[in-house]
Structure 1
Amino acid sequence: MSRVTPDQPGPLSAAEEAAIRALARVMSVLPKLMDADMRRGAGISLTDYGILMHLSEAPGRHMRMSDLAAACDLSLSGMSRAVARLESDGLVLRVRCGEDARGWNAVLTDTGFARLEDAYPTNLVSTRRRVLDRFEGIDLAALATAFDRVAADPDSDL
């Protein structure tokens, strides 16, 4: 019989296994459902909405591309492709960083901000319908704290 240690934990209980499987399903399905809602209701992808949202919240409505990529959980090349697409639609501009001329900033245009405002009601309906309405009776502050603990894993390789 093997000993239970931090490196060799015991097997998951039925409740733990169910929770992990449900979480894995949510992580896979939820972004697809919300993306479909956004495309259908607002004509914009969930990824593009997130980029516009982060830019709208940033001082001066601009962010260094690498910081924006990290905020949106995209690779730098993925962010570059997304920003190029948004730039071609007039929603974002790319400008050289004033701090170090090597980097680039993404800047939200007035048209991009208006597009974000137009898409917000669809995002709100999707967020409530797909997520918050399902958590009725659950302590959302405690849930947010638990999610933050998972995301702030000190052993992360990210």
Structure 2
Amino acid sequence: MADFDPVSAWAGVLRAHAAVLPKLERALAPTGLPLTWYDVLMVTNAAPDRRLRMTELGRQAVVSRERVSRVVSELEQAGLIERQPNPDDKRSSYAAITAEGRKRLRAAAPIYLAAVRDHFLAHLSDSETKAVSRGLGKVVEAEEPGRR
């Protein structure tokens, strides 16, 4: 394997992302939840008390920090998230998933998971999946401490 170019790993991440993401978007389309909405709902639902400070949501969600506020506003207009004032810090607020948000997330989850399985996991062995997870996890931890 002397001809292996390590930068090809980065190119592979970019190409896999570009190939799979539109398929996940199309799979979710019938649910009415764009992938960015699904991500923010999933992260918020998994948080303690099913709410997160906006700054923490920006750190945990896959959507860029710049877009989190806009996505939360869209979810709020759709009745899937509500902003709650932070009683300890008047400058910040929480994003909390609503009952309707949880209902829509639960309905979309099997579709999302099937798409991830069909368009990503189906192409990897268990050991490759573990290696990808470990390797990319190291990058995330190094580049965004505290994100994982």
Gaps of 5+ in 1: 1-11
**Correspondences of 1:117-132 after superposition (within 5 Å):** 117-132=106-121
Structure with the bigger percentage of helix: 2
Work out the CA distance in 1 between the residues paired with 2:4 and 2:64.
Answer: 36
- What's the counterpart of residue 133 of structure 2? 144
SS at match of 2:91: coil
Aligned equivalent of 1:71? 60
What TM-score, normalized by structure 2, do the two folds share? 0.85
1:98 aligned counterpart, secondary structure: coil
Q: Residue by residue, what CA displacement relative to the aligned partner does 1:81-100 show, whole Å, maximum 9, x if unpaired?
A: 11111111111101111221
Structure 2 distance, partners of 1:96, 1:89, is 19
Q: Distance in 1 between matches of 2:99 and 2:125?
A: 37
Match of 2:17 in 1: 27
Could you list the runs of 4 or more consecutive aligned residues of structure 1 that deviate by over 6 angstroms after TM superposition?
Answer: none
TM alignment of 1:26-105, pairs within 5 A: 26-39=16-29, 41-105=30-94
Distance (whole Å) between structure 2 residues aligned to residue 88 and residue 110 of structure 1: 14
Distance 1:89 1:42 in 2: 13
Query: Alignment length, in residue pairs?
Result: 144
- Larger Cα Rg: Structure 1 or Structure 2? 1
- Give the superposed CA RMSD: 2.2
Q: TM-score, normalised by structure 1?
A: 0.80
Mind listing any 5+ residue stretches in structure 2 that lack a counterpart? Answer: none
Percentage of matched positions with identical amino acids: 26
Paired residue type of 1:74: V
Q: Read off the aligned partner of 1:29 and give its amino acid letter.
A: A
* Deviation, structure 1 residue 118: 0.6
Name the stretch that deviates more: 131-140 or 63-72. Answer: 131-140
